[in-house]
Every structure is written in C-alpha cells, then in structure tokens.
C-alpha cells in the first residue's frame, strides 16, 4: 500500500473523529444502526489485562502497537541502539471471535505500518514499511505470538523459547534472539493508563527486561551484539486529546536494578504526566502526575536532547541525555527516537521518544 492511501485513511479517520467527538478524541465508532452492529471499544478504569491473549491483536479497538527498544553493545564494547515498532490502525471494528474477511475480497478494514531503526557510532538509520490488513501482507497472532509486515517478523524462536526478530532493508538488517525475563508489568490502574486529567487513556503493559543477542549488519559489516531490551504493548480507540501537542516518553534501565517508565502529554499551559517505578525488588509502583518532575534542559527549540527527571518519593534525581547526532525517524509521521544515558542519583541507559516538536 502506498503512502497516499495511508494518508487518505488517516484523513478519513480524523474526519470521522471530528464529526463524532468535538473534543478531538476518536471515542466510539458512532451510534450502531442495530444492537448487533460492532462498535469500537474504548478502554477505561476497571478493564484488566489477560495473557497471552493481550499480546495478540485487538480488532475491536481502533489503534494499537507493539514496540521494542534495545540498548546493546558490540563485541568491542561500542553502544548500539535499536528500535522496532509495528502499528495497526482500523477503519472497521471487528470482534475478536469474528472471522476476518476473505483476502480475495481485498478488504480494507485496517492499515499497518512498521518502523525499524539502528543507532550506532553517531549515525541513525531508519526504515518504514506500510501495508493493508487481512490480505496476508501484515498481521499479528496471540498463540503463537507473532507480528509481521512482509519479511519483517517477530515470531517464536526455535523450540518456542523466547522470540526471534528479523528486519532487513536494502543497506542494513538485524536478526535477534529475545528472551523475556520476568512477568509483564501493568502500567497505571492494573493496565489502564490514563492519558489526560479527564481520564481518557489506553491499555498498556511492558516487558521491562529482555535479554537480547544476535547480529546487526550495516553496509555489509556484521556486528555481534548483546544487551537489554524493553517491549511495550498498547491499544486504545482514542488519539490525542484536543490541545495536546505531543508526548515525551522514557524507558530507563538503571544500574541499581531499578527501572522507570514515564511520559508526559504536552498541552499549551501544562502537561499530563504518568509513569511506573519498577524497583529491583518489590512490586511496581504507579506514579501520579504530582509525583513526577520532568524538565527539558538547555534546548530552546527543536527536539530537547537533555532532560531532568525527579521522583522525590524515591530519592531519584536524574539527567537523561541523548548522544550526539540526529535521531529523527523521518517517516510518514516524523518523531525523535534515541538511546539515552542516565547520570545523577542513578546511572544507567534507556530510550526516549519525542513527538510534536518543530524539528530543527
């Protein structure tokens, strides 16, 4: 599917959203003509996660994504950052139990998009692929867990122990073994993650400690890599609320063994913040807006490269910095995606994603 069709789909969905929801949220799919017509579902407080089903697709929700970031090292100790994301955006809701339409009918119920990036030695490489759903080009299953778009594929590893992620472009590729360590971490209210003070949000969980090994090939040069990854899973039927300009997201592995996820959605006069503190021992702690300090440092315009993060309740005072270089993913929807280093009260590494800025 070409970019023009994807843009048309996005415009169509946006137009429908505005007609139904003046606030700018997608909301439900409209009033059903009969009680048997399927509508888009919107997560809310009280919804709960279910495994392994929630690793798979949610066709009755409008948007969802599978998202991996990884802080790796080459054999000589050089840092290498890596990202893979696959998105699904639906035009037509379908219950989980319903059979998908026949591919021969060339259905247009959902659009898929996949992103991949490698950041190494000051260079950032990015690729994007687009496809339509239900014709075999892209999809996802829960059992066995698999997500694919053409030949980019996350699937069970040999022997069904862990996963294998394979991505190949014209000039670079990676082939990785992923071994989840520990159970999924539910964010927010047992998996419901609010995205505004008025309570709209998404279902959101993470695997915060993936052991990763494999190879990355850049312009014919193959590097053996190993390190740690973070895997996010999220779905909803709402886009940004009217007035929200973009978001800043961080996932950090601290050398103390603690981990931290936090984000803010920026508005004209303020920002809505949320996060999860994941201690080395003990249960994860959901963080409310009043518990999080987040400020960009020394960047008057464009994408902020340095941030100050404070969690007073946990004696956390961090400076998070991107390495030198340009880490924009210049696809259909441009955004910043970079590895980061952490200093201050704790040291460590991680990833940050920034959207909604005027790139400079």
Closest to 319 measured CA to CA, from 305, 330, 303: 305
Average pLDDT of the segment spanning 244-254: 94
Average pLDDT of the segment spanning 116-140: 93
Q: How far apart are CA 205 and CA 165, in angstroms?
A: 20
Q: To 10 degrees, the CA torsion angle through 249, 282, 176, 134? A: -60
Q: How confident is the model at residue 359 (pLDDT cuts 50, 70, 90)?
A: low
C-beta of residue 196 within 8 angstroms of C-beta of residue 56: no
237 vs 102 pLDDT, higher one: 237
Q: How far apart are CA 142 and CA 127, in angstroms?
A: 26
Q: How many Å separate Cα 24 from the centre of its chain?
A: 21
Average pLDDT of the segment spanning 118-146: 92
CATH number for the domain formed by residue range(s) 3-28+49-94+105-354: 2.40.370.10
Other CB atoms within a 10 A radius of the CB of residue 280 amount to: 9
Q: How confident is the model at residue 35 (pLDDT cuts 50, 70, 90)?
A: very low
pLDDT of residue 245: 86
Kindly report the backbone phi and psi dihedral angles of residue 244, in degrees, each rounded to the nearest multiple of 5, phi listed first.
-85, 125
108 vs 143 pLDDT, higher one: 143
Other CB atoms within a 10 A radius of the CB of residue 200 amount to: 22
Q: Which pLDDT tens digit goes with each residue over 163-185? A: 999 999 999 999 999 999 999 99
C-beta of residue 149 within 8 angstroms of C-beta of residue 160: no
Which two tokens mark 318?
């961090």
Residue 223 has pLDDT above 50, yes or no: yes
Q: How far apart are CA 316 and CA 235, in angstroms?
A: 30
DSSP state of 331: S
C-beta of residue 129 within 8 angstroms of C-beta of residue 107: no
Q: Which pLDDT tens digit goes with each residue over 273-314? A: 999 999 999 999 999 999 999 999 987 778 999 999 999 999
Q: Alpha helix locations (H) across the chain? A: 3-20
Q: How confident is the model at residue 101 (pLDDT cuts 50, 70, 90)?
A: confident
**DSSP secondary structure of 29-96:** S---SSTTS-------TT----TTGGGS--TTSSEEEEEEEEEEEETTS-EEEEEEEEEEEESS---T
Q: How confident is the model at residue 12 (pLDDT cuts 50, 70, 90)?
A: very low
Which two tokens mark 8?
């048309």
C-beta of residue 28 within 8 angstroms of C-beta of residue 40: yes
Please work out, in degrees rounded to the nearest 5, the angle formed at the alpha carbon of residue 47 by the alpha carbons of 140 and 63: 40
């Amino acid at each position: 599917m070409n970019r023009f069709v994807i843009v048309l789909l996005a415009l169509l969905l946006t137009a429908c959203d505005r007609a139904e929801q003046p606030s700018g949220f997608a909301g439900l799919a409209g009033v059903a003509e009969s009680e048997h017509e399927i509508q888009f579902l919107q997560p809310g407080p009280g919804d709960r996660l279910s495994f392994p089903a929630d690793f798979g697709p949610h066709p009755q929700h409008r948007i969802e994504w599978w998202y991996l970031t990884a802080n790796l090292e080459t054999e000589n100790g050089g840092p290498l950052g890596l990202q893979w994301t696959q998105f699904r955006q639906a035009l037509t809701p379908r219950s989980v139990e319903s059979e998908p339409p026949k591919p021969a009918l060339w259905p247009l119920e959902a659009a898929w998009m996949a992103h991949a990036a490698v950041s190494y030695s000051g260079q950032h490489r990015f690729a994007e692929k687009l496809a339509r759903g239900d014709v075999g080009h892209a999809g996802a299953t829960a059992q066995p867990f698999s997500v694919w778009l053409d030949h980019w594929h996350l699937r069970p590893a040999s022997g069904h122990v862990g996963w294998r992620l394979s991505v190949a472009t014209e000039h670079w590729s990676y082939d990785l073994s992923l071994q989840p360590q520990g159970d999924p971490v539910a964010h927010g209210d047992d998996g419901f993650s609010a995205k505004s003070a008025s309570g709209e949000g998404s279902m959101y969980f993470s695997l915060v400690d993936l052991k990763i090994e494999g190879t990355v090939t850049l312009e014919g040069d193959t590097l053996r890599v190993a390190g740690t990854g973070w895997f996010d899973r999220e779905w909803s039927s709402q886009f940004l609320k009217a007035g929200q300009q973009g978001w800043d997201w961080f996932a950090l592995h601290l050398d103390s063994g603690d981990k931290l996820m936090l984000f803010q959605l920026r508005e004209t006069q303020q920002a809505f913040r949320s996060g999860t503190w994941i201690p080395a021992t003990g249960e994860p702690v959901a963080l409310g807006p009043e518990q999080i300090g987040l400020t960009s440092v020394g960047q008057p315009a464009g994408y902020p490269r340095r941030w100050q993060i404070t969690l007073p309740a946990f004696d956390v005072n961090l400076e998070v910095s991107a390495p030198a270089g340009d880490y924009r993913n210049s696809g259909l929807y441009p955004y910043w995606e970079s590895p980061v280093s952490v200093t201050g009260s704790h040291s460590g590494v991680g990833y940050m994603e920034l959207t909604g800025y005027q790139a400079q």
